[in-house]
Structure 1
Amino acid sequence: MAEVGFNQLCNWLRFRHLVLIDTLARTQNMHTTALEMNISQPAVSKMLREAEKQLGFALFHRLPRSMSPTDLGSHVARYAQIALNDARHFIGQVNHLQQGGHGLLKVGTIFAPTSVALPAAIVGVKQRWPLLTLEILEGTSANLLSMLEHKELDLVIARFTLDRHRQLFDFQALAPEPLCLVTGSQHPLAGARHLPLAELGSWPWIVYPTGTPMRARLERAFAEAGMQTPDNTVETISLQTTLQLLQTSPMVAMLAESMVEPDIQAGRLTRLALPFPLVLADYGIITRRNETPGWSAQALIEELRSGADALRSARQSPR
């Protein structure tokens, strides 16, 4: 198998080849790929043969009913997806600038920063560049980091969930995330001076999905208390769904204090009196390693860090 040279790749590789590889890896079907690309099936076959000839290895297994990527083909398909997402972002930025805007910044965030840190940073950035468009996507750390890796986001405010993330991304800590147990204000446990830990597992719970830091912290808290994790659960990352369930049914949830403080102050939720603290590791700004963030991402990062510094100073100053 001959090695592929960079100059050789630049001389023949076109975006149409990347579209072909990305589409075929996604559909695993030659006919569907031809329809999506609006070309004939023989043209798809010809382009694929050209790509494989230039690379020197097969990209897809030819199976009777599907075309799954080979091991090397999966690597090439991942590159194709990243390159195409990068190109789409570039075209979107250029078009936005042509129309008089100041570009587009795509930000992924877990829920805790959306209560104070991120909105304050957005206000600061928009005061300086009012025509900059910010697109904000909420989700779990794992999903957001996958999108960041594939260049579907410019930066993420989250925390690492896998060891390999530490090799792929840079991390700037912003703030810890204190947690609390909450119920609806009408729950039988609401207002209890001493929380009967042994009873907690018997109530229905609203929990984050398996694999999320919030779920891992909940399971650890039960293990530390020598208790089984509840079996009667609803799994969701939707804050709106969680708040509605807490207010209309006898359920319990572990959530970030910043997310539920307004509802606690308004009397809609009650914080349970825990005998031990619940804190998650710091969330922070995550960017792709060995890639300098653009000017708009840098501007948001500066605002986020400034806000985090101010919050730390306020907490440390004597009252």
Structure 2
Amino acid sequence: MPPDMTHSSFCNGIRYKHLMLIDTLARTRNMHAAATRMSLTQPALSKMLRDVEQQFGFALFERLPRSMSPTELGDHVIRFAQNALAESQQFVDQVNRLRNGGHGCLRVGGIFASTAQVLPQAIAAIKARYPLLSIEVIEQSSDHLLALLEQKKLDIMIGRFTDERFHALFDFQPLEPEPFSLVVNHSHPLNTQVSIDPAALGDWPWVLYPVGTPIRDRLEQAFKVVGIPTPPDSVETVSMSVFLQLLQSAPMIAMLPRSMIAAQLTSGLLKELPCSLTLSPLEYGVVTRKDETLSASARLFVDILIEGVRRRGEYVTWGDRFSCA
């Protein structure tokens, strides 16, 4: 067995062009296709791959008749190469923006509840201070956002942990609980009832989050608690606009974060159903990678998020007190 690779030998031997080769081969699984994409001859690419594997001391890809599949160790190297290339691209983009008078780039992921109020308010606040700060927002469920954060495709995310292993990878700063509402449109026949038997819910079509998403998992558990099966007549989506269009145009039922439908509930377009089928609120917060220093803009954004939620909580509390006086 060859001697272990040292950090010094790795830094001296591996170049970004080698990482590009590893990434390109991983994506194409074909020597000729990879050579074409990298504008190299196939012999030149083959020699470069041999040199890289010699540096690592093991094969990165299996040479099969019609493809090149990563070895077990190769998979680990591929993930490193792709993360390093993603970081280098972000670095280049940041430098170019800063050189041209900008304030860098911030990539933020948010669960659906956060994008209704918390995230837009924080974006407006930080853009008022730094108009040239470029902000990319990705709205998804927590499981998808955690994968993007782990791959360093996000700087921060607003969501929650979906698996125990994430506690070792990320830090969590709580923001607020996320209450849910069981809703229908204002003309739905169920609105005439004072109390609804959960069994009656299965007689109507539903709009559901897709199987495997955290909200869907919790809803499936809630169905079991009240002793009803998952409604067979359903549409699955993560799109808020699709949820709202379906709810408003058909006698459908949905369980949604209350912050996402606050305006529709206030206007009367949607109504909450009085039913024992409920989801208890879960706290969500700011998730960042452990032992990694945030950029100045990311740190400021986190501070703005936390302060904005604190002030909103004070406003709601004071409003409640005032209304009860």
- With the length of structure 1 as denominator, give the TM-score of the two structures: 0.96
Matched, 1:154 2:168: no
Q: Aligned partners of 2:147, 2:28: CA distance in 1, in Å?
A: 20
Q: Aligned partners of 2:30, 2:188: CA distance in 1, in Å?
A: 53
Tell me whether 294-303 or 127-136 shows the greater mean CA deviation. Answer: 127-136
Tell me whether 82-91 or 264-273 shows the greater mean CA deviation. Answer: 264-273
Residue 166 of structure 1 corresponds to which residue in structure 2?
Answer: 167
CA shift at 1:266, angstroms? 2.4
The 5-angstrom pairing of residues 40-119 of structure 1 reads 40-119=41-120
CA shift at 1:21, angstroms? 0.7
Residue 142 of structure 1 corresponds to which residue in structure 2?
Answer: 143
CA shift at 1:277, angstroms? 4.7
CA deviation profile, 1:147-175 (whole Å, cap 9, x unmatched):
11111111111111122211111111111
Contact 2:222 2:278 in 1 (8 A): no
Residue 231 of structure 2 corresponds to which residue in structure 1?
Answer: 230
Residue 271 of structure 1 corresponds to which residue in structure 2?
Answer: 272
Report the CA distance shift for 1:20/1:303 in structure 2 as closer, same or farther (over 3 A): same
CA deviation profile, 1:2-61 (whole Å, cap 9, x unmatched):
211101011111111111111211221222212222222222211111111110001011
Q: Aligned partners of 2:234, 2:42: CA distance in 1, in Å?
A: 49
Identity of aligned residues (%): 49
Amino acid at match of 1:221: A
Amino acid at match of 2:5: V
Count of paired positions: 319
CA shift at 1:274, angstroms? 2.6
Matched, 1:220 2:221: yes
Contact 1:203 1:252 in 2 (8 A): yes
CA shift at 1:316, angstroms? 4.4
Residue 127 of structure 1 corresponds to which residue in structure 2?
Answer: 128
CA deviation profile, 1:260-318 (whole Å, cap 9, x unmatched):
11122223222212346523421110111110111110010000111122233344453
Q: Aligned partners of 1:277, 1:198: CA distance in 2, in Å?
A: 14
Q: Aligned partners of 1:32, 1:182: CA distance in 2, in Å?
A: 52
CA shift at 1:192, angstroms? 2.4
Contact 2:175 2:283 in 1 (8 A): yes
User: Match of 1:89, SS?
Assistant: helix
CA deviation profile, 1:112-155 (whole Å, cap 9, x unmatched):
11121111111221122122111111111111111111111111
Matched, 1:239 2:232: no
User: Match of 2:299, SS?
Assistant: helix
User: Match of 2:271, SS?
Assistant: strand
Amino acid at match of 1:131: L
Amino acid at match of 1:15: Y
The 5-angstrom pairing of residues 156-305 of structure 1 reads 156-275=157-276, 277-305=278-306
Q: Which runs of 5+ in 1 are unaligned?
A: none
User: Match of 1:105, SS?
Assistant: strand
Tell me whether 167-176 or 31-40 shows the greater mean CA deviation. Answer: 31-40
Q: Aligned partners of 1:195, 1:13: CA distance in 2, in Å?
A: 65
Amino acid at match of 1:66: S
The 5-angstrom pairing of residues 16-55 of structure 1 reads 16-55=17-56
User: Match of 1:301, SS?
Assistant: helix
Contact 1:208 1:236 in 2 (8 A): yes
Contact 1:191 1:270 in 2 (8 A): no
CA shift at 1:101, angstroms? 0.6
Q: Aligned partners of 1:269, 1:112: CA distance in 2, in Å?
A: 17
| Aligned structure 1 segments of 4 or more residues deviating by more than 6 angstroms | none
User: Match of 1:279, SS?
Assistant: coil
Amino acid at match of 2:124: V
